[in-house]
Structure 1
Amino acid sequence: MQYFSYLGGADPLSWAIRLKVAIGAARGLSFLHDAENQVIYRDFKASNILLDSEFNAKLSDFGLAKAGPTGDKTHVSTQVMGTHGYAAPEYIATGRLSAKADVYSFGVVLLELLTGRRALDKSKPGFEQNLVDWARPHLGDKRRLYRIMDTKLGGQYPKKGANAIASIASQCICGDAKLRPPMSQVLEELEQLQDAKYGAPSPLVDIRKASHAAPKSPMTSTPKSPLSSTPKSPMRAQPAARPSPRRSLGAAAPLAGYRTAQVH
């Protein structure tokens, strides 16, 4: 079952399951990055996360995976390919690929878990179409974070856990690739959240009280992203059923303005 087929439904995934999915995906990326022969996934996105009947996450579609740099090299150079809304800005601008590009993409998926929104959504107002641009100003402010949380959670999430996930996501989507944490560190921090019971259900967050305590956010319009492709639709929880064959609903497309390259 595809992960992103669960967002947006009447019965969405609980906070605990979202954290479980994030940990499973982080474990997969960490394994690839820390392998003796490093592998860069290059097209990490929500629709490439597959879930079994117990919501264990597995990565799929390695068609764009690339061998990582060797020796003292910090990156590999390649034509830009991937999925709009998930690709790291430095990779788009220069074609220089490193494992930190995957970290950026993982940060975008964390934002999707928090907000229930797609990485790119043209049905939203201009300044909200790009999830990273819209969410970033709220990630470092505990008083404003509730404004971007997925309303389908109904406030059923631990505030400390949500703040911690927001902090991790903020580090992952840092504009300076060198300042992004390695996936091994991201995985460790997520597992600590689970161990600390931040993945357990909590009393409803009082949205009305929070709205009185927090100043209104000055929402400003941001330039439209030149990346136009729309990711797959969000995920929604379904009753447990017999495990179905895992599948992937489509391969990544080359980013606008770049030619398709054969992956070596």
Structure 2
Amino acid sequence: MPELPEVETMRRGIAAAAGGLVVGIEKMPCPCKPIHVSPAIHSFRKRVVGTRITQLSRIGKRVVIWLDSEEAIVIEPRMTGLVLVVNPPTMEHLRWRMVLEDCQHQQILYWDRRGLGNVRLLSKNNFQEQFGSSRLGPDALQITALQFEQQLGHSKREIKPALLDQRAVAGIGNLYASEILHVAGIHPQRCCALMNRQQWQAITIATHKVLLEAIQHEGSTLSDGTYRNALNKQGGYQNQHRVYDRAGKTCPRCQSSQIQRIVQTQRSTFFCAGCQKRKGALL
């Protein structure tokens, strides 16, 4: 967390910064664990101040700010990072600030409670090296059933952990993997290599459906309250969750079975045994 819907919401929230002139870059003093900013802030500032933002995009779970110098600022929120344009939840966890002119937003902020995220300035070539097709799978919003099958169809892994592999498909995390598999009707322990084309098609349709719904609701703010959109407001998709963090509750789909929780590769998985049959599971 944040996953693709939350990061895409952040990107959309700062989109009006396109065309803005960068007039300042600051790494904020913080009493907590410092985040990784690369290069060192004086070099970062020298390369960026005076450039204009040409595009705001997303690669997997990262926000990308493209500059007219053909360099990219890549912000990776990891567990608790936020990209904001207004005052953050707390000032003590504000890590990085970009000051702007000639656009709707006066600033872009990076806030991170746990300090696990990073902000990096990359050349066009370095960006391709780090985020090209050899390092990152197809984006989860664009991936096709054929690509899913090509990426994972020969794997002996269980499908739920496999969906978290960013080299196979970019953007899906633990929360949305459970939701996607429930919509697709696929058991989370099913072996990838035992899945047929119809099931890959079901996962593809469910992936697009769930992620687009979550984006429409501006992401999920969980019980810890950490995730916020660019205006420091909660997302709303947590109210639409079908299985995630709902162990013991009645499945909203079949209205008969209880949602179960298991642990896969040290991560919680939630599913309905009634809707998601065990056939082909690695049990």
Per the normalisation by structure 1, the TM-score is 0.28
By percentage of residues, which structure has more helix?
Answer: 1
More relative contact order in 1 or in 2 (CA 8 Å, sep 6+)?
Answer: 1
Q: Kindly indicate which of the two structures has a greater share of residues assigned to strand.
A: 2
Structure 2 length-normalised TM: 0.27
